[in-house]
Amino acid sequence: MNTIRRSSVEIVLKFLFLIGLIRLGYLTLYYTSPFPGGIPPPPARGIIQSFDNVVLAESQTAWNVYLNTRKIISSNVINELKIILNISPEILNTLQDKPGVHLLKRYIDNKTAEKLRNLNVKSILLEAVNERIYNEGSTLAHVIGFTGTDGNGLTGLELNLNSLLASHHEESNKINVVLTINLKIQKETEKELSNAVRENNAQSGIVIVQKTHSSEIITFAVYPSYNPAQYEKLHPVQLINPAVSHLFEPGSIFKAFISALLLERGLIKINKPYYNCTGSIILTNGEVIRCAKAHGRVSLADIIKFSCNSGMIQAAEKLAAQDIYDFLVNLNFGEKTGIILPGEEKGILRKPADWGVRTKAVITIGHGVAVTPVQLITAFSALMNGGVYINPSMVHHIMKCDQTAGRTNFIKQNFVRKVIEKNTSESLRTLLTYGTVQGSTGYRARETGFVSAGKTSTAQKPNLEIGGYYTNRFNAMFIGVFPPEDPEFTILVILTSPQENYYGGTSAAPVYASLLPIIAKEFNLVHSPKTIYLKNEIMKSYFSGKEKTVEKNIIPDFTGLSLRDALKKYSQFKKINNLEKHTYPVKIAGNGYVFSQEPQAGEIMKNETEIKLILKMP
């Protein structure tokens, strides 16, 4: 697939070269004398700006300089051109041996063009052109794209909105495109992403921030990026937008999707420990799927908290293959999202008739299926926003340059459909707060103090050459929503092949956490007990540890309990296991409610182990 994409980009660049040849031929045939004002420029393109009113791409008048060498050019003129255009005299002398019209330099400014006019040399031709200026350099390069020397878009929005940006004949009719992007947050995101890629020695990275209820994208960061003003120096691969074109297996993030289906069907309760994790599970074909360790008796909440593969596969046994497939199709997996960016792939989701004996099991833990980052975050937002799928958008509205006609909402093809019930979405948000509590795989998503609902993934990368998976190459990911009780933003972080801290929880989750105070400040989200630690309704629901039963030989879950309730459960634990007075002592640190514990809930009892409870105030 990437080979096809590279070939298409190479075709675009070859076409660009052909346009240049045609233009030179045109000048050779028709322009043999100077023009005081130069060849008139084509109409200027519309501008592209961010939602916070920063101009990202605009056109300005510049000049291309040509030299007609069908007549002998004096040494004085050669010397003047050398000085004004900073071109070596050797190049100029060489051109004299090739009669015709030769491009000397593109995009000189008005001041330089005036110096050339003052030479009053008939062999010097000036062509007025619209130079496209990208004011923020590499920022949003994969989104905005760039135009070619003929003024038409070649990649990004410049390509897909080319007819709109160029559809005018007078300056007053020029169309401006306003994106959903918040440039301030975009820049902060790019900074955090580049730092994370370098610190974790990753190959690349992607961060997308989306409004949970509308699917509007406010940040679209890709690292490494490129400078659109220097696109001719780039390899075609650098122009590919990985957030819409690259496919990857989502890994453990898919546990959130399978959990949603289980909750929607009423097949499972969040806190009931139905399953036993011994550290691995053997599939019907004899393949062994492993967990990080033996988690013991696990509930759905524990499966999310510890990212337990064995527990997830056992839980999904209640679902038919067709049910899983239909649910994922309804979330638009296996189809394009319709985002207004070129090169979008539709992903890979095979029909159940094509599934092997292992497919159903491995899909429940995010393998055997391939998605794009845009697909994944948009589907996740649907699960979190009350259960409504809305395809992603990046253009907020369009308006005329003089704004006399006001603004027009950008018309896009909307895919809006119900995917789960509202109460299921609420339960899922409650469930996914387990994914960020102390002791979970995603606990570092809270290191800036904000509570979130989310899920980590550390997905082995498939080896496309010999089959199977690499043992040392991973995609580290985290996806979450904030605030969890009524999400406003969904954030997806992907680090490709990190060599340091390759777990999603230790490399991607901290990037997520670093963005929360930035977003909260920009959108005036109150940093209060409602959005941190324990004091909100969804966290009260999550921290319902006293409703969990105490089982024999299993460490109970004390999180969320007051000290009194924790000690009461501790007494039940000792009683049910016939423990003597001095065995399994409990140690208390802090005040308030139990925030974390050691050993972790669900672990098998060991001799002479103490239980440590860490309390915090809400």
pLDDT digits 0-9 by tens, 390-399: 999 999 988 8
Q: What is the DSSP letter of 279?
A: S
pLDDT band for 212, please (50, 70, 90 cuts).
very high
Where in the chain are all domains bearing CATH 3.30.10.20? 546-616
As a whole-number percent, the residues of the chain with pLDDT over 70 amount to 85
The pTM (predicted TM-score) of the whole model is: 0.80
What homologous superfamily does CATH list for 2-179?
Penicillin-binding protein 2a (Domain 2) (3.90.1310.10)
- H or E element that contains 426: helix 422-432
Q: Is the pLDDT of residue 584 over 60?
A: yes
The whole-number average pLDDT for the span 505-530 is 83
Lowest mean pLDDT among 149-153, 447-451, 576-580: 576-580
Task: Note the pLDDT of residue 167.
Answer: 67
Residue type, 342: P
Q: Which CATH class is domain 546-616?
A: alpha beta
The backbone torsions φ and ψ at residue 535, rounded to the nearest 5 degrees and listed phi first, read: -90, 75
CA neighbor of 51 nearest in space, from 200, 177, 160: 177
Which is nearest to 482 in space by CA: 459, 506, 512, 457?
512
Fold entry, domain 185-226+242-395+412-522: Beta-lactamase (3.40.710)
Please check whether residue 179 is in contact with residue 50, taking contact to mean a CB–CB distance below 8 angstroms: yes
3-state secondary structure 234-276: CCHHHHCCHHHHCCECCHHHHHHHHHHHHHHCCCCCCCCCCEE
Name the pLDDT band for 35 (thresholds 50, 70, 90).
very low
Q: For CATH 3.40.710.10, list the domain ranges present in the chain.
A: 185-226+242-395+412-522
Confidence band of 556 (pLDDT split at 50, 70, 90): confident
Q: Burial of 477 by CB count in 10 Å (0-12 exposed, 13-18 middle, 19+ buried)? A: buried
Q: What is the 3-state secondary structure (H, E, C) of 142-179?
A: HHHCCECCCCCECCHHHHHCHHHHCCCCCHHHCEEEEE
Residue in 267, 237, 273 with CA at minimum distance from that of residue 327 = 267
For residue 48, give the amino acid letter: I
CA 209 to chain CA centroid, Å, is 7
312, 255 Cβ separation under 8 angstroms: yes
Of the listed ranges 18-32, 440-454, 477-491, the one predicted with least confidence: 18-32
Q: For the segment 589-614, what is each residue's pLDDT rounded down to a tens digit?
A: 887 777 778 887 777 777 657 888 88
Integer Cα distance of 510 and 508 in angstroms: 6
